[in-house]
Amino acid sequence: MTTSTPPASWEKSAASPTSAVAKKSSNRWKFAIISVVLFGAIAFMILSGTLGSGRFFITVNEVLSRPDLVGKSVKISGAVVGSTINVDPNTQTISFTIAHVSDSIAELQDQGGLAKALHEAVVDPDAKRIRVVVKNQPKPDLLQDEAQAILTGHMGEDGIFYADELNLKCPSKYQADVPQQSEGIG
């Protein structure tokens, strides 16, 4: 009893022309959908970055006048009041007070530049002030009286600003200068 097996065929079965067109059309739709989603995501990131950070920082007066900012991450700037600087080397906790400095270039120029505005803010007893606490950071060399502090953190319900990031600019660098980061805010 011998059984004969049909010969093996090595030829590709002919695909219908409509299935090739359907596959090509399907790939185009996938590409179009993915392109739209990617374009939308990029547009969203650009817009949210631009709208959300149209300002380099906000002022002490703005933080104090906006209770809705309590607990939210913000970037603020102010003049360091040197007599309030306190550093605990054991816990690496720094505390100090910052006084309100305008973010308007015109106002800063009218006051004689940033260095003069920082000085005036520190000596003005009526300038609004915020207590700042920075944890787990050694004392920076630039932390001194009348330095410009730019802080990222959040305002606590207790009225203290808890900074996660501290950047300082020495006032002597700005004797007649007005930094461009404060331009066009608002």
Domain ranges of the chain: 18-54, 58-180
75-102 pLDDT, tens per residue? 999 999 999 999 998 999 999 999 999 8
93-142 pLDDT, tens per residue? 999 999 999 888 888 888 888 889 899 999 999 999 999 999 998 889 89
At the fourth CATH level, the homologous superfamily of domain 58-180 is Nucleic acid-binding proteins (2.40.50.140)
Tell me how many degrees the CA angle 106-97-171 measures, rounded to the nearest 5: 45
Two tokens, residue 27: 């790939």
Sequence-ordered list of residues with C-beta below 8 angstroms from that of 164, at least 6 positions apart, any chain: 73, 152, 153
Residue 21 one-letter amino acid: V
Q: How much is the pTM?
A: 0.62
pLDDT score at 104: 82
**C-alpha R_g of the chain:** 31
